[in-house]
Amino acid sequence: MASKLTIGLLALGGLAAAGAQAQEISGGELRLGFGGFLNSDTAVPDRDADARYTLEGSMELEFGRAAMQFDLSLDQFGLVDENARAGTLHGMYKPAGNLAAGAFIGFENSDIRDVTFYGVEGLFEGSSYGVEAYLLRSDVDEIDLSGTVGGIAVGYDALADLRSGAKIVYGEFDRDESIALYALTAEYRLGPATAISAELGRFDNDAPGSNDIEGNYVGVMATFSFGPGQSTTFDRRGIVDLLPGF
């Protein structure tokens, strides 16, 4: 599976380079994040260990009303001392500037398991609010496990530079295992190309290989944007992105 991830990431890079020659980059983001449990329903010897550190990058190319988005990420989990690497390719159609519908495929490679995922997604941006939703199917190679995850996020511009919101994610896997995430979110725009965001939520977990670790969590992220559009269309996808800590 590691070779599959490598091939996938090389393909993303090749497509990006080829696309950049034909069309300028319409937008991109670099994100640095930290998250962890405020409390856990499973005893953890080192309370400072169950944290997640994230480095993410996204880039989007537009071809008329069609567009392609490329995501790369690196996550480090303190409790399990594990690294995870991911790459995702989105293809989308934008019938209007505030509406997008698309599909995605991605790979996650970690120290203990590899995941392939794919799905569909959509987004609508109103004058002062936004809605984004997706449906994802994942396959974990090493333990022959599949699952389906769905999520929806809404945001409202409470102030000119402040967007508050909420999101819900629920997933079911084989063997009657499941995950659920509920969170309140906020993003404050420091300038046209810089923003800081925070998330406070609850993670309920019966997922495979996770020791049923669950609890309330908090996360913060800094986002640096570039390009004419100053952002990419869709958020990051995948299973690793759902995990607040570990």
pLDDT at 24: 73
C-alpha–C-alpha distance, residues 174 and 30, integer Å: 35
CA 54 to chain centre: 10
104 CB-side CA count, 13 A: 31
Domains and CATH numbers, the chain: 2-242 (2.40.160.40)
pLDDT at 46: 53
Three-state DSSP state, 102: strand
Among residues 227, 222, 214, which one has the least CA distance to residue 190? 222
The model's pLDDT over 36-81, given as tens digits with 9 standing for 90+, comes to: 888 755 544 454 556 889 999 999 999 889 999 999 999 988 755 6
pLDDT at 2: 45
Residues of the chain with pLDDT under 70: 1-23, 40-50, 79-81, 142-144, 207-212, 245-246
pLDDT at 43: 45
Q: How many helices (H) and strands (E) does the chain have?
A: 1, 12
Q: How far is CA 10 from CA 4, 5, 13, 54, 68, in A?
A: 10, 9, 5, 21, 15
pLDDT at 82: 74
Q: Which two tokens stand for residue 244?
A: 């607040």
- What does the chain come to in residues? 246
pLDDT at 11: 52
Which pTM value belongs to this model? 0.84
pLDDT at 14: 53
pLDDT at 188: 97
The model's pLDDT over 97-114, given as tens digits with 9 standing for 90+, comes to: 899 999 999 999 887 778
